């Protein structure tokens, strides 16, 4: 069983529950890592308690607000 050479393969991506991939530990892909990062940043903003402050206009255009 040469497949057991990777003990880290037991880790699971916290985003989609797939087996984590080494370059993106503990995530399975950069996409999931980005998802978690965005969640973290969103949470950080809330925790930081910054009132109605906009993000310096640096937000990505994937969520158009009107
Ligand atoms: Zn994933």
What's the pLDDT tens digit per position in 46-65?
655 555 555 566 666 676 67
Q: Which residues pair with 19 in a beta bridge?
A: 12
What is the pLDDT, as a whole number, of residue 13?
Answer: 95
Distance 52 CA to ligand 1 centre (A): 32
Distance 11 CA to ligand 1 centre (A): 11
What's the pLDDT tens digit per position in 7-48?
545 789 999 999 999 999 999 999 999 999 999 899 876 655
Distance 66 CA to ligand 1 centre (A): 31
What's phi and psi for 15, nearest 5 deg?
-90, -50
Query: 66 vs 8, which has greater pLDDT?
Result: 66
**pTM for the whole structure:** 0.51
Distance 40 CA to ligand 1 centre (A): 15
- Expressed in angstroms, the distance from the first to the final Cα of the chain is 57
Q: How far is the C-alpha of 65 from the C-alpha of 54, rounded, in Å?
A: 12
What is the pLDDT, as a whole number, of residue 32?
Answer: 96
In this structure, what token pair is assigned to residue 40? 């973290």
| Number of C-beta neighbours around residue 13 at 10 A | 21
Distance 50 CA to ligand 1 centre (A): 30
């Amino acid at each position: 069983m040469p497949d057991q050479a990777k003990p880290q393969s037991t880790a699971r991506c916290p985003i989609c529950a797939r087996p984590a991939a080494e370059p993106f530990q503990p995530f399975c892909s950069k996409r999931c890592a980005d998802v978690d990062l965005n969640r973290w940043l969103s949470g950080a903003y809330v925790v930081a308690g910054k009132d109605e402050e906009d993000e310096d206009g640096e937000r990505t255009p994937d969520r158009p607000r009107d």
